[in-house]
Every structure is written in C-alpha cells, then in structure tokens.
C-alpha cells in the first residue's frame, strides 16, 4: 500500500488538473553481483499515456532506481537533481507473517528526502516485497517533485498573465498558491529566476 506525501498535494493536483503526471511501477528487474557494489535495474514505468522502459545503475536498488528516473526526467525537471536522500528504513511487520519463519511478512519501506531548501518529505510503501516497495517509494518521490515543479511553473505563468490583465484578485490568489507550492519544490536556477518576478 503506497503512501504518498500529502503536503500541498491537493493544491498541486488542482493546479495541474488533467496535466498531473502519475507514475506507476509496472515491472521491476534487479541484477546484482553479490561480490560487487553495482546494482542494475530495468523498470517498466507507466506515466498514464505509455509504458516506458528505463534502465539505471547504482550502489543498491534505491540508487539504481533513482538514477533511472533522473536519467529520464532530470533534463525536463532539473529540480530532481537537487533532492537528496535523508533517511531510508525497512521495518518488517512480523504479525503479518503467513509462514512460521516470518520471511513472508509485510515490510514497510520509508524514504525521506530533502529538497534544496532542506525541507523533509516522506514517502512510504508496504508489501511483501521489499524491493518492490523500495522502488515504488522512489517513484512516488520523483512523481511528487516532478508535479511540484510543474505546478510552480503553471502558477507562475498564470500569475504573470493575471498581472498583465490587471486582475489583482487573481494575482493575489496565485501569489498565495505559489507561496504554498514553493515549499514543496526543490529549486533550480530556472525557478530561482521565476521567484525574482514575484
């Protein structure tokens, strides 16, 4: 069961409406050499319109999945390059075990990331597969920051348009909403330039 970060999510979804990008992990393949620190992943990722095939490498599953996603989305959404892992935990819920050993228990994966301003964002997932839950938490974090950046840009453009049309009511509304979304965004040079217009 995937838990998405809720801070400002309703506002982000309302601003983007049908343009909100939902990312769903469709398939996951992991290849590791037990004697090395390199992990390679192949992801089937659905973005609502198509299923993309992504590959990535890193030091472990989380790093490899993140690299695969940044490789695909980082050029369009540069804020992804400025978020950083702050905490990662896996906890077994042994009361959910089916077998005597308990190795089939539901595991909860919790991922905490910081944006460029140092604010914390938490994502979690639980299932009987630690690798699937770990990958889904990384996908959820990337989805959140992609949409936060998209919402910031959308609101910024709407505010500029309202300013040109001398719609003070809309300028006030969009400024307030920008202030809320800006807390969720990981800033890039482009967004910093936009902030100067506020």
φ, ψ for residue 139, nearest 5 deg: -60, -40
Which residues are registered as beta bridge partners of 90? 109
Q: Report helix angle 168-182 to 9-16, nearest 10.
A: 130
pLDDT score of 187: 64
SS3 for 102?
A: coil
Q: Per residue of the chain (198 residues), give pLDDT as tens.
A: 444 556 688 999 999 999 999 999 999 999 988 877 899 999 999 988 889 999 999 999 999 999 999 999 998 888 888 889 999 998 887 777 777 666 777 889 999 998 888 888 899 999 888 999 999 999 999 999 999 999 989 998 999 999 999 999 999 998 888 888 877 776 665 566 565 555
What is the pTM for the complete model shown? 0.87
User: CA–CA separation, 19 vs 14, rounded Å?
Assistant: 10
Q: Which domains does the chain have, with CATH numbers?
A: 2-146 (3.30.160.270), 153-196 (no CATH)
């Amino acid at each position: 069961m995937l838990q998405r970060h809720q801070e400002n999510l309703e506002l982000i979804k309302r601003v983007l409406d049908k343009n909100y990008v939902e990312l769903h992990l469709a398939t996951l393949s992991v290849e590791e050499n037990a004697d090395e620190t390199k992990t390679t992943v192949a992801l089937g990722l659905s973005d609502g319109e198509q299923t993309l095939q992504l590959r990535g490498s890193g030091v472990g599953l989380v790093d490899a999945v993140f690299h695969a996603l940044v490789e695909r989305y980082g050029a369009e959404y540069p804020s992804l390059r400025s978020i950083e892992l702050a905490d990662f935990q896996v906890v077994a819920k042994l009361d959910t075990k089916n077998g005597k050993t308990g190795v089939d228990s539901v595991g909860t994966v919790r991922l905490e990331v910081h944006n460029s301003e140092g604010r914390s964002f938490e994502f979690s997932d639980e299932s009987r597969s630690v690798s699937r839950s770990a990958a889904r938490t990384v996908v959820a974090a990337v989805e959140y920051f992609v949409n936060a950046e998209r919402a910031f840009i959308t609101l910024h453009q709407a505010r500029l348009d309202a300013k040109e049309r001398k719609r003070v009511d809309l300028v006030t509304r969009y400024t307030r909403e920008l202030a809320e979304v800006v807390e969720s965004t990981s800033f890039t040079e482009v967004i910093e330039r936009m902030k100067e217009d506020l």
